[in-house]
Structure 1
């Protein structure tokens, strides 16, 4: 068991290290200007090894948000509150602690990463795959039927739009505390609308 754990930890460190190196290069030169060969050389691995970990160039960036794909489903699965109440609380807590996934973070590296993510067409396309998987996981947690899929689609869209608005304002130079105050009010309104649309989840 300990050997399996060690192998898994080494694998995760490799994923993290190569992704970090790739993102640094992308931020320095631009996504399209950096080749996979250049990333492999900087990480001191071969191209075939890199492709074993990251089948597509976009995966090197999207890896950083991959663990959020089932986040909403995990929150619902805890079952401590009604689904929308739990998701609302989770999002508001993320705003309070400056979780980058909520867009509420003004650290220069986080802002630059979001600019890379939202400003690169290939990564935007990859993001939709990420969102579809998040939606599918949440729909399953909500019951898996058509009503659950409809609700999951709306919930994922609300979270995405709220986060993008926060990032847009912070990137524009607005003070983070001012953005946070408005973001809390916006999230409250958005989740109230979701509760009106899906009362059985509230």
Structure 2
């Protein structure tokens, strides 16, 4: 696997990303203040000083205003596989990414005391909970395509993707539940890391890529 250098985004793309982030930030503030189900897209548009059509251009569904990292999750995990080193297995690349997200306290890593309020809002909204489950499926499908394209040594890329996502989700959700129950991130960090390492050890063992 040859590592490719990613092109820097254009000024137009940077402006679009900034607008998207601003709309999401405004929406999130409203959802936190009043509850997801109590805020309309029209209200988000007015608060962000854009049209409702502009909101939908960036976020096809209201749920995506709050779960705005779904595209980032798909890109982050697939790009880790696609741009891995020549001697790296897909699982080694994803392990490195998972531990990097943990060390950076990135939202996709799931280990920070401040994330609990976000998770509670998702839990309290059936619409958000359903969209979160769909997001997991989107990551799985994208990984399966990327495995098929870049890892011909894997006999079943769809199974590999399903097991990878299930393993990652298990570690993430278990940790999230502990934080929601009142434990501090620092108290569970070592176990989180150990469980993530064990998950990828198991994946590499199953698929013979260790």
**TM-score (normalizing by structure 2):** 0.84
1:9 shift after superposition: 2.2
Count of residue pairs brought into register by the alignment: 196
1:162 shift after superposition: 1.1
Aligned equivalents of 1:62, 1:169: Cα separation in 2: 21
Q: Which residue of 2 aligns with 1:70?
A: 75
Q: Give the alignment of 1:12-23 within 5 angstroms.
A: 12-23=17-28
Structure 2: gaps spanning 5 or more residues = 1-8
Q: Give the alignment of 1:49-88 within 5 angstroms.
A: 49-80=54-85, 81-88=88-95
Q: Does 1:190 find its partner at 2:199?
A: yes
- In the superposition, relative to structure 1, how do residues 157 and 138 fare at CA in structure 2: closer, same or farther (>3 Å)? same
Match 1:157 to one of 166, 171, 191? 166
Q: Which residue of 1 aligns with 2:125?
A: 120
The answer as to whether partners of 1:69 and 1:131 remain within 8 angstroms in 2 is: no
Using the TM superposition, name which of 21-30 and 62-71 deviates more: 62-71
Q: Give the alignment of 1:132-143 within 5 angstroms.
A: 132-143=137-148
The answer as to whether partners of 1:40 and 1:47 remain within 8 angstroms in 2 is: yes
Q: Which residue of 2 aligns with 1:178?
A: 187
The answer as to whether partners of 1:37 and 1:47 remain within 8 angstroms in 2 is: yes
Aligned equivalents of 1:96, 1:56: Cα separation in 2: 31
Aligned equivalents of 1:59, 1:93: Cα separation in 2: 25
RMSD: 2.0
1:146 shift after superposition: 6.9
Aligned equivalents of 1:152, 1:53: Cα separation in 2: 28
1:102 shift after superposition: 1.8
The answer as to whether partners of 1:77 and 1:141 remain within 8 angstroms in 2 is: yes
The answer as to whether partners of 1:142 and 1:148 remain within 8 angstroms in 2 is: yes
Q: Which residue of 2 aligns with 1:96?
A: 103
Q: Which residue of 2 aligns with 1:34?
A: 39
**TM-score (normalizing by structure 1):** 0.87
1:33-79 Cα deviation digits (max 9, x unpaired) = 11112111111222223222222211211223421113222112223
1:150 shift after superposition: 0.6
Q: Which residue of 1 aligns with 2:53?
A: 48
